[in-house]
Structure 1
Amino acid sequence: MATDIASRELATPVDVTEYLFKRLHQLGIRSVHGIPGDYNLTALDYLHKCGLNWVGNCNELNAGYAADGYARVNGIAALITTFGVGELSALNAIAGAYSEFVPIVHIVGQPSTVSQRDGMLLHHTLGNGDFNVFSNMSADISCDVAKLNKPHEAATYIDSALRECWIRSRPVYITLPTDMVGKKVDGERLKTPIDLTFPPNEEEKEEYVVDVVLRYLKAAKNPVILVDACAIRHRVLAEVHDLVSKSGLPSFVAPMGKGAIDETLPNYGGVYAGDGSNKGVKDRVEKSDLILSIGAIKSDFNTTGFTYRIGRMNSIDFHSNYMAVRYSEYPGVGMKGVLRKVIDRMGKLHVSPGPTVSNQPPMDRRTSTDPTVTHAWLWPTVGRWLRENDIVITETGTANFGIWETGFPKGVIAVSQVLWGSIGYSLGACQGAALAAKEGEKARRTILFIGDGSFQLTVQELSTMIRNGLTPIIVVICNEGYTIERYIHGWNEKYNDIQPWKHTDLVPAFGAEAKSYGTHQIRTKEELLELFNDEDFSSAERLQLVELHMPKEDAPHTLKITAEASAKRNKEI
Structure 2
Amino acid sequence: MQSVTIGRYLWQRLRQLNVKYVFGVPGDFNLQLLEQIDEVEGIEFVGTCNELNAAYAADGYARTNGIAALLTTYGVGDLSALCGVAGSLAEHVPVVMISGVPPMFAIRNRLRVHHTMAEGDFDNVRNAVRQFTLTEARLTPSNASEEIDRALRYCWQERCPVYLQLPSNLSYLEISPSAEPLTRQYASYDKRQHQLIIGKLIGRLSQAKHPLLLVDMDAERSQMASQLQQLCDRYQIPYASFPTGKAILDESSPLWLGYYPDQANDTLNQYIAKADFILATAPCFIEGSSMVATQNLPAEQTVYLRGFDITFEQQTFEGICAPVLLNQLLEQTIECQFEIPVNDVRKEPLAKQEGALCQDKLWEQLRHYFKAGDLILGENGSANVALQTVPFPKDCHYLSQPIWGSIGYTLPALLGSMIAQPNKRHWLFIGDGSLQMTAQELSNILQKGLKPIIVMLNNCGYTIERYIMGKTAAYNDIPQWDYQMLLRALAPNIDFNYQEVTTHEQLKTVLDSLDETKASFIELKLEPMDAPERLKRFGPGVAQFDYGPRGPQNK
Give the TM-score range, shorter chain.
over 0.9
Q: How many aligned positions are there?
A: 547
Measured after TM superposition, the shift of residue 337 of structure 1 is 3.1
1:387-406 residue pairs with structure 2 within 5 A?
Answer: 387-406=371-390
Cα pair distance change 1:309/1:480, threshold 3 Å: farther
Instruction: Give deviations 1:50-91, integer Å, cap 9, x for gaps.
Output: 132221111111111111111111111111000000100000
Q: 2:52 aligns with which of 42, 61, 74?
A: 61
Measured after TM superposition, the shift of residue 18 of structure 1 is 0.6
Verify the 8 A CA contact 1:281 1:355 in the aligned structure 2: no
Counterpart Cα distance in 1 of 2:292 and 2:318: 28
Paired position in structure 1 for 2:392: 408
- 1:559 partner SS: helix
1:411-430 residue pairs with structure 2 within 5 A?
Answer: 411-430=395-414
Gaps of 5+ in 1: 1-10
1:17-56 residue pairs with structure 2 within 5 A?
Answer: 17-50=7-40, 51-56=42-47
1:285-300 residue pairs with structure 2 within 5 A?
Answer: 285=272, 287-300=274-287
Paired position in structure 2 for 1:337: 324
Paired position in structure 2 for 1:256: 244
- 1:560 partner SS: helix
Query: Aligned Cα RMSD in Å?
Result: 2.0
Counterpart Cα distance in 1 of 2:282 and 2:356: 39
Q: 2:367 aligns with which of 383, 392, 399?
A: 383
- 1:405 partner SS: coil
Paired position in structure 2 for 1:6: none
Paired position in structure 1 for 2:129: 138
Query: Is 1:436 the counterpart of 2:420 in the alignment?
Result: yes
Query: Is 1:346 the counterpart of 2:334 in the alignment?
Result: yes
Verify the 8 A CA contact 1:201 1:334 in the aligned structure 2: yes
Paired position in structure 1 for 2:296: 309
Verify the 8 A CA contact 2:260 2:293 in the aligned structure 1: no
1:102-501 residue pairs with structure 2 within 5 A?
Answer: 102-148=93-139, 150-187=140-177, 189=178, 192-274=180-262, 278-285=265-272, 287-303=274-290, 309-343=296-330, 344-360=332-348, 366=351, 370-438=354-422, 443-501=423-481
Choose between structure 1 and 2: higher helix proportion: 1
- 1:301 partner SS: coil
Verify the 8 A CA contact 2:57 2:417 in the aligned structure 1: yes
- 1:507 partner SS: helix
- 1:152 partner SS: coil
TM-score (norm 1): 0.91
TM-score (norm 2): 0.94
Q: 1:528 aligns with which of 507, 512, 517?
A: 507
Cα pair distance change 1:172/1:528, threshold 3 Å: same
Measured after TM superposition, the shift of residue 354 of structure 1 is 4.9
Cα pair distance change 1:180/1:467, threshold 3 Å: farther
Measured after TM superposition, the shift of residue 318 of structure 1 is 0.7
Deviates more, 1:117-126 or 1:138-147: 138-147
* Structure 1 residue identity aligned to 2:461: G
Measured after TM superposition, the shift of residue 181 of structure 1 is 1.1
Counterpart Cα distance in 1 of 2:375 and 2:149: 31
Cα pair distance change 1:370/1:390, threshold 3 Å: closer
- 1:80 partner SS: strand
Measured after TM superposition, the shift of residue 565 of structure 1 is 2.1
Counterpart Cα distance in 2 of 1:286 and 1:272: 13
Deviates more, 1:31-40 or 1:261-270: 261-270
Identical aligned residues as a percent:
33
Paired position in structure 1 for 2:74: 83
- 1:520 partner SS: strand
Gaps of 5+ in 2: 550-555
Instruction: Give deviations 1:197-226, integer Å, cap 9, x for gaps.
Output: 223432222222222222222223322111
Paired position in structure 2 for 1:561: 537
Counterpart Cα distance in 1 of 2:80 and 2:135: 20
Measured after TM superposition, the shift of residue 246 of structure 1 is 0.8
Cα pair distance change 1:301/1:39, threshold 3 Å: same
Counterpart Cα distance in 1 of 2:469 and 2:337: 48
Counterpart Cα distance in 1 of 2:368 and 2:127: 48
Measured after TM superposition, the shift of residue 106 of structure 1 is 0.4
Verify the 8 A CA contact 1:250 1:267 in the aligned structure 2: yes
